[in-house]
Amino acid sequence: MSGFGRRVHMVGIGGEGMSGLASILLKRGVCVSGSDLKTNRHTDTLRQAGVTIHSAHAASNVQPEHDRVIISSAIRSDNEEVLAAEQLGIPIVRRLHALSSVIGERRSIGIAGTHGKTTVTAMTATILRELAEDPSFLIGAHCESLGGNAYDGCGDWFVAEIDESDGLFTSVRPTVAVLTNIGKDHLQTYRTVDDIDAAFRTYVKGARHAVLGIDDPRVRAIAESSCGGFTVGCHPRARLRASHVRYAGFRTSFTLKLDGRTVARVTLPAPGQHNVRNALCALGAAAVTGMDLRAACRALGSFGLPHRRFELLEENGVTVVDDYAHLPEEVAASLRAIRTGWPGRRIVVVFQPHRYTRTQTLGQEFAASFDLADIAVVTDIYPASEAPIEGVSASTVADAVARVSHVDARWVPEKPDVVEFLKTSIRPGDFIISFGAGDVWKITQELSEFLIAGEFRFAESPQPVCSR
């Protein structure tokens, strides 16, 4: 593969983006090795494909015959393998720069935004696949209906999720840039939301075409200040617009209109208004690339939500779902999806704050996000790669929720204690959902296994389900 040489070593190979990139490089004839501190389904799959994966970072993992060392955003500059590569004079490439080179070999659709980009990428890849385009894709989560998180197809299009977390995404130049929304996140990289806004503007300007989700006011401002963007949304000024939306559990339907004319009635196997907006972004990408919109609408019927995106774990008199939402707007959107799709159910939330820095800057903003829940259990912070910050605790999130809403909010630091609380609190018809980008899924996974075993009794004297 041009630009990478014959042998590549990848530091942090087990991550969603890195593992997908590794499989693409491998398919294109590059000899890949890598290292990661944790094993997962991605490292197991790569090992089976012949990739040598080291379970620890060490200078000896980097060899003189390596032509490139690719590193993930989580890898620090003082990492042993980074230092070894520098000493050996091996070029070090950041993941997004490597991705930019990969997608530059095809016509590409890059999906960016604070929320929804993983789902939109999966939707777009599904549409192109169902329309026999055989696209390549790289998604930030495993997608069962697509066979994984990455695929190297024979078609002209490469669909890729573009992550903004480290600020390097502005160097990516896709043929079509999709921008879902702009929100406050990654303030360890950006000083303010205005800085984030400016970075997304740069990203959009670097593309030949842009698809802009104008339900978001900041994206709408971009559309109003530039020419050529294809606007999508529920907003009345969107060229591609959804109307007459209906919600029913895991399925949502809406009427799709282009420039005021009805195109089709869309049935989407995903809940909530936020997924309607996600679908509009994917359909907008299809329209810009010249796909038949009616066929694209039908193709969405084959879509399956990616791993940990409103993922159903169990339905046994109690609904148990796991969700990746870890920002205030994402939590609120998923709770609205439950209220509209499952009216009258009691909602029990388990939330695991992600990173100390994010909890420090956004902790108080989570208060209103849980307003549609009945019970909110907050467990300890998942630190990712961060060191603790003095005075920053998950208890502040629970306190904030308790102060400003009717929600029964409690801080339960240890995961086993959360599981026991849930087991003794289950009521018929409960909708239990876990939120977080860390390992909170272990709680709802254990709970679902408990429910499957059937060795439980509902709590005595159950309260009536919520009537809101």
- The answer to whether 117 and 138 have CB atoms below 8 angstroms apart is no
Bridge partner residues of 314 (DSSP)? 320
- The answer to whether 196 and 293 have CB atoms below 8 angstroms apart is no
| Catalytic residue (one of 43, 114, 118, 319) | 118
Q: CA 462 from chain center: how many Å? A: 35
Residue 329 a catalytic site member = no
DSSP state of 169: G
**Are β-strands 68-71 and 52-54 bridged in parallel, bridged antiparallel, or unpaired?**
unpaired
Per-residue three-class SS string for 298-364: HHHHHCCCCCCCCEEEEECCCEEEEECCCCHHHHHHHHHHHHHHCCCCCEEEEECCECHHHHHHHHH
- The answer to whether 182 and 200 have CB atoms below 8 angstroms apart is yes
Query: What is the Cα–Cα distance from 466 to 468, expressed in whole angstroms?
Result: 6
Residue 27 a catalytic site member = no
Consecutive H or E run containing 111? strand 107-112
Residue 161 a catalytic site member = yes
Query: What is the Cα–Cα distance from 155 to 176, expressed in whole angstroms?
Result: 16
Consecutive H or E run containing 225? helix 217-225
Phi and psi torsions of 438, nearest 5°: -100, -125
| Catalytic residue (one of 117, 119, 175, 231) | 117
Which residues, 6+ apart, have CB-to-CB distance to 216 below 8 Å? 180, 181, 182
| Catalytic residue (one of 161, 164, 311, 330) | 161
Residues annotated as part of the active site: 117-118, 161
